[in-house]
Amino acid sequence: MFFKTLSGRFLLLTIIFVMVAEVFIFVPSVARFRVEYLQQRLELAQLASLALLATPDDMVTPELANELLANAEVLNIVLRRNEMRELILSNPMVEPVSATYDLRDAGPFELIKDAMIALFNNRDEVIRIIGRPVKGAGIEIETTLEIMPLRYAMLEYGRNIFLISLLISVFSSAMLFIAVRRLMVRPIRKLVQNMMDYQQSPEDATRVIKPENRVIELRAAEDTLLDLQTQLTGSLKQKERLAQLGEAVAKISHDLRNILTTTQLLADRIETSTDPTVARIAPKLVSSVDRAINLCEQTLTYGKAEEAPPRPELFLLAGLVEEITDNENLHDDAEKISLRCDFQPGFELSADREQMFRVLGNLMRNARQVMETMPNGGEICIRANHTPSGVQLYVCDTGPGLPEAAKTKLFQPFQGSVRKGGTGLGLAIAAELVRGHGGNLELAETSSEGTCFRIFLPQKH
């Protein structure tokens, strides 16, 4: 997983490239070591030959000859001086010479090839080496030696080079990794983190990036992201303001339409009056109310508006219910729809009276509108009781119940209506007003025998 990140891949590539570079250094280094090793053998052989030539009769004892050859780590020494090729020192050779290498005119590629052959040759062979004597002490010097000591020395040297190269690779990779992580990866991560934070709340202007990187490419990316986020935040704020205005109009239209509906019912009664003046004015009044209701229905659009904070006061629940009953004309529907209050006449409630009027009014109106379509009408029941933490109010009806499709979107504007022509704003407004009191509105139960909504309001003691 680490090597799938930018840091991991850079570290891996750095190690690979450094190791490849070390290989290109390693091969010539081993070839150079082989040349120096062989050249050193030739120089030691030359010293041994000079020691022999310094004697009066160019002769030494066999023991001394063996010691000179052993110190030079060669098997024999041939020196060419004044066009004469002369065997200076020699030991009996068991193995024949398998290859001859002339160090005088060998090119770099030939030396590398010979070094690789010697490094991977695992056979115990004897090779001949030809070179030039140092300090002009002759024309040519030649010696034979066993290849295995050379191979062991090359392996030892190669192991040391490999360890040093590995150490250099690790150190270089670590330094490059730290530098790139600090100069490139960290700024990129910061940029990505800002994008993630901004994604969670694009309307929050404090989450807009503040360009501060000094790297030209990263600074250009930050500036571009700044422009994008600024434009998006501005657009979201503008749309939010339009949505708030739209919902404000929708809520006002919804409640105003309900008020005008009551006015329409009163206007209908006035229209039946026998008074000539009233009879003349009544049709115009009804027409004006109809136009106002239609206008309210046409302006129910999407949006959002914050309700004013509640102003709690202590009042009698019975008085509030009576006022809602008068407003909804439930007294006139006594034959079809009845109202039952299941609480003590002196039951008191601490809340914003006007907002609770709207909450209970919406719930009772919805119940009345549903049961008006039933042949035998129905009953609305208001229950209330105190609990240790607050007050519970229940608005129940004996209607047909809610369909399954409406339950999931019951408190969503424009989606929770179950009545043809309804907007679904009534329950949404009621739920928002109850939440403003710190309480909640929920569907307690619904079935073919009726529906019941529960309101909980916390009370301060």
CA–CA separation, 51 and 77 (whole Å): 12
The whole model's pTM is what?
A: 0.42
Q: Say if residues 48 and 57 touch (Cβ distance below 8 Å).
A: no
CA–CA separation, 292 and 283 (whole Å): 14
**Of residues 209, 184, 205, 183, the one with CA closest to residue 195:** 209
- In this structure, which amino acid lies at residue 97? V
Length of the chain: 461
Per-residue model confidence (pLDDT) at position 302:
38
Distances (CA, A) of 395 to 59, 338, 392: 133, 13, 10
Q: Which sequence spans correspond to the domains of the chain?
A: 2-172, 218-298, 313-458
Tokens representing 141 are 């010097």
β-strands 440-447, 450-458: how paired? antiparallel
Write the burial class of residue 159 (CB in 10 Å: 0-12 exposed, 13-18 middle, 19+ buried): exposed
Per-residue model confidence (pLDDT) at position 392:
95
Per-residue model confidence (pLDDT) at position 202:
80
Instruction: For the domain made up of 313-458, give the CATH fold.
Output: Heat Shock Protein 90 (3.30.565)
Beta bridge partners of residue 443, listed in sequence order = 453
Q: Say if residues 258 and 361 touch (Cβ distance below 8 Å).
A: yes
Count Cα neighbours of 270 within 13 Å in the Cβ-side half-sphere. Answer: 18
Query: What are the per-10-residue average pLDDT scores of the chain (461 residues)?
Result: 68 76 81 88 82 68 78 82 74 78 84 84 85 74 87 88 80 79 79 84 81 80 85 76 67 69 68 69 66 58 56 92 78 70 92 91 88 86 92 93 80 61 72 91 91 90 55
CA–CA separation, 19 and 17 (whole Å): 5
Q: Say if residues 145 and 117 touch (Cβ distance below 8 Å).
A: no
Q: Using N-to-C axis directions, what is the helix angle for 147-180 and 6-53, rounded to 10°?
A: 150
Tokens representing 390 are 């607050």
Per-residue model confidence (pLDDT) at position 93:
66
- Cβ within 8 Å of residue 50, ≥6 positions away: 137
